[in-house]
Chain A
């Protein structure tokens, strides 16, 4: 369904973010994209919906060449790709309902959206989605009055209101605690299954990726270095992706360099994965 061929991105400063990316994503597949900070994960998914312009290669979604689109056609293409962000990216001063309804912006004209006169079906669907993510009571709350996990649910509802074929998910759990992270990942997973959505999920947390994805792609310095099933991910492969680190032994008690969020991952929710995860974070931090 989504095919990337020879995609590259070079920033005007000369930094190479992506080199020759080849990737095919069939319908309904949930793919996790892992790699150290700065490997180009965010750039890659932003190239797909053209928030970042790729400098070479082609990206095709259901036969449409995305890299050549402009104006009206680009809007059409974007509305079929829902995006979920790391810091939720809600508009703080709008209410939850307005934030969810902004998923319809690709479908309605300017004046309708300006006056907030959305079609009745859109409002029904928006409310249904809010119920699905568990926030029907919050419709009139302002987005900045919600907790992190609730905001991410609103972000998910907004992305789904676009009736997308593909979800682009950028670090959905990076600002959340371990329990909420798992709930959010499970929700994304279930919603993808319900609607047969394909998804690309950028994620730092290797344990979560292994648990919730069908396929894992490892990115290092803008190149794909691993592409396979979660079960195939071994410590040698992690070393090629993230660099030298002792992946199997229990790390020493965390030093201060590891911030609270990451340290809490050592809690006994999921010990084997959690250890892998924290050592990766510690390695990346050094």
Chain B
């Protein structure tokens, strides 16, 4: 309906909300497409209802286990797994962030030459596309079972994450400040130190804290493929249906993540 016609209609008291998508053909096309996709997708989901019914009892057991988690009977396994997870988290974050800084600088279009830019962007793309767990599989094959493979995995994933965000940060930094420092006759290193670093540092610290948190959460799963950490303990307890132990581990994970988040919000306020 034209604008004028809508005004006339409104004068007579007939008014409808403007449609979100103006062309009716596109509007209906999208709606029908969505319905067709939903139908196809839902029909292709095969559900074994007998198995689901059988599992209902287990679900109740599991929820019950959350009411009385068992920290004691696998105490040694839990402590060992947790210690491994925490050490992996810390070392991988430190290594990852250190390595991410040069990659991030290289991947920022406004300060790095084109060939380096492409190499760094490629590193970021590969590291971000694959789930930590897939990378863990490869590194376990290469470095053998244990926390070393896990640490390398997490460090590798950290590089992609941090370098991408750091590069974006550098790309939208306030260029006038950089020019001002450069105008004093500063060298490349001096410019980095006096103009770029002060602008990106608070966010870099904030992101590192955030990544620490992510790395801990990831370290709790890569144990499934043998890369060390609490994941292996959790996996074992689940496959033995020892839900009370699993519940205990999950509660510990939640508590540590909460602690991480709480402290990182403090650190961020402090560095701001």
Contact = CB atoms under 8 A, between A and B. Distances in A.
Interface of A: 95, 97-98, 101, 116, 118, 120-124, 126-127, 136-137, 139-140
Contact of A140 (B6, B11, B13): B6
Interface string B11-23: 1111111100000
B14 A140 contact: no
Contacts of A137: 3, 7
A120 B9 CA distance: 11
Interface in B1-57: 3, 6-7, 10-18
B10 A97 contact: yes
A119 to B, nearest CB: 8
A139 B210 CA distance: 46
Contacts of B18: 95, 140
Interface of B: 3, 6-7, 10-18
Candidate in B6, B13, B14, B16 with the most chain A CB atoms within 10 angstroms: B13
A120 B13 contact: yes
B15 A97 contact: yes
A98 to B, nearest CB: 7
A120 B16 contact: no
A99 to B, nearest CB: 12
Contacts of A140: 3, 6, 18
Contacts of A116: 16-17
B16 A127 contact: no
Given A120-B12, A124-B13, A126-B10, 6 more contacts: A98-B17, A116-B17, A123-B13, A123-B15, A139-B10, A139-B15
Contacts of B10: 97, 123, 126-127, 139
A139 B7 contact: yes
A256 to B, nearest CB: 22
7 contacts: A95-B17, A120-B13, A122-B13, A123-B14, A123-B15, A127-B13, A139-B6
A140 B2 CA distance: 11
A124 B3 contact: no
A139 B4 CA distance: 10
Contacts of B12: 120, 124
A52 to B, nearest CB: 30
A101 B7 CA distance: 15
Contacts of B16: 116
Candidate in A118, A122, A137, A139 with the most chain B CB atoms within 10 angstroms: A139
Contacts of A122: 13
Contacts of B3: 137, 140
Give me the 7 closest cross-chain CB pairs, A-B, nearest first.
A120-B13, A124-B13, A123-B13, A116-B17, A127-B10, A123-B15, A127-B11
Candidate in B3, B15, B16 with the most chain A CB atoms within 10 angstroms: B15
B206 to A, nearest CB: 29
B11 A124 contact: yes
A96 to B, nearest CB: 11
Contacts of A95: 17-18
Nearest to A119: B13
Contacts of A139: 6-7, 10, 15
Contacts of B11: 124, 127
B6 to A, nearest CB: 6
Nearest to B15: A123
A81 B210 CA distance: 48
Contact of A121 (B7, B13, B15, B17): B13
Contacts of A124: 11-13
Contacts of A101: 15
Contacts of B17: 95, 98, 116
B12 to A, nearest CB: 7
A49 to B, nearest CB: 27
B184 to A, nearest CB: 29
Nearest to A124: B13
A224 B21 CA distance: 54
Nearest to A131: B11
A121 B11 CA distance: 10
